């Protein structure tokens, strides 16, 4: 897998709320205890290696680490990012969770995104790395406030309401549990719920995939039904 793809995979891992798992201390034998240590996801480590392949390893990073210690990662030059990422990678020497600290404060995510940007990453690659790890005062690559594209909670809820209502309406009608015009009420709930929750999702500036898919299906279903009835009546009644 090429370096850039490994970086994007790592970005997606962090974007989805990755938390480093730790193996706790345990008693190996009476009076002897092990030290807790982190278990890093290999995708995270490969992303860091990939980023260093792009910007280069700073073999004299110890002489320059103080220069980048307090710098804003999204504004780093290639040389500064090389120093920073080498520092991050080399800081984990005794399984004491040093890299975990950089993950928690968001700078690993910022560093991976910056490596893609410095390599002339396309808008698609950068967009797959939203600045959830950015400091609140820093805009993301689209000029939007940090974290402005949140997880699509309402968008997914709208999709579930739409599909769930359609399924229940179909099952209820087929089994005669929903009598008469109950199917129409079910369709209204599916369409109305899907549209309303999708609009709320877009208004909340969540990631747009689920909301747009729900809107397309909600608005496209009545059109498809209308066309279906029109074709049916045209060919079977008018003819």
Predicted confidence (pLDDT) per residue in 17-75, tens digit: 999 999 999 988 898 999 999 999 999 999 999 999 999 999 999 999 999 999 999 99
CB 68 within 8 A of CB 86: no
8 Å CB contact between 158 and 198: yes
Please tell me the predicted confidence (pLDDT) of residue 132. Answer: 37
Look at residue 57 in the predicted model and tell me its pLDDT: 93
How many CB atoms are located within 10 Å of the residue 210 CB?
Answer: 22
Interval 137-161 mean pLDDT: 52
Structure tokens at 20: 């480093």
* pLDDT at 90 exceeding the cut of 90: yes
Q: Which two tokens stand for residue 138?
A: 């820093």
Distance from C-alpha of 102 to C-alpha of 58, rounded to nearest angstrom: 18
Q: Percent of the chain, pLDDT > 90?
A: 41
Helix (H) or strand (E) run with residue 33 in it: strand 32-33
- Per cent of the chain over pLDDT 70 is 54
How confident is the model over 213-220, as a mean pLDDT? Answer: 68
3-class DSSP assignment, residue 39? strand
Q: How far apart are CA 8 and CA 73, in angstroms?
A: 17
Predicted model pTM: 0.51
pLDDT band per the 50, 70, 90 thresholds, residue 3: confident
Sequence-distant (6+) residues with CB within 8 A of 47 are: 6, 7, 9, 10, 11, 13, 112
Q: What is the pLDDT of residue 1?
A: 57
Among 145, 125, 135, which Cα is nearest to 105's? Answer: 135
Tell whether the model's pLDDT for residue 145 goes beyond 80.
no
For residues 84-94, give the mean pLDDT: 91
């Amino acid at each position: 897998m090429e370096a850039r793809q490994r970086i994007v995979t790592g970005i997606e891992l962090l974007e989805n709320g990755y938390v480093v798992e730790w193996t706790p201390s345990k008693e190996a034998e009476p009076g002897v205890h092990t030290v807790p240590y982190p278990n890093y996801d290999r995708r995270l480590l490969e992303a860091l290696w990939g980023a260093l392949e792009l910007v280069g390893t700073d073999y004299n990073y110890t002489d320059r680490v103080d220069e980048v210690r307090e710098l804003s990662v999204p504004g780093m030059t290639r040389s500064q990012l090389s120093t920073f990422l080498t520092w991050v990678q080399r800081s984990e020497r005794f399984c004491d969770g040093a890299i975990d600290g950089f993950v928690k404060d968001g700078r690993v995510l910022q560093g991976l995104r910056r490596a893609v940007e410095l390599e002339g990453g396309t808008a698609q690659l950068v967009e797959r790395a939203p600045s959830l790890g950015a400091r609140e005062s820093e805009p993301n690559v689209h000029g939007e406030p940090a974290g402005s594209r949140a997880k699509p909670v309402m968008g997914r809820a709208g999709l579930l309401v739409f599909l769930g209502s359609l399924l229940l309406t179909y099952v209820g009608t087929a089994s005669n549990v929903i009598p008469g015009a109950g199917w129409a009420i079910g369709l209204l709930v599916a369409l109305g719920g899907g549209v309303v929750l999708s609009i709320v999702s877009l208004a909340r500036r969540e990631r747009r995939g689920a909301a747009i898919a729900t809107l397309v299906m909600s608005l496209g279903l009545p059109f498809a039904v209308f066309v279906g009835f029109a074709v049916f009546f045209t060919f079977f009644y008018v003819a």
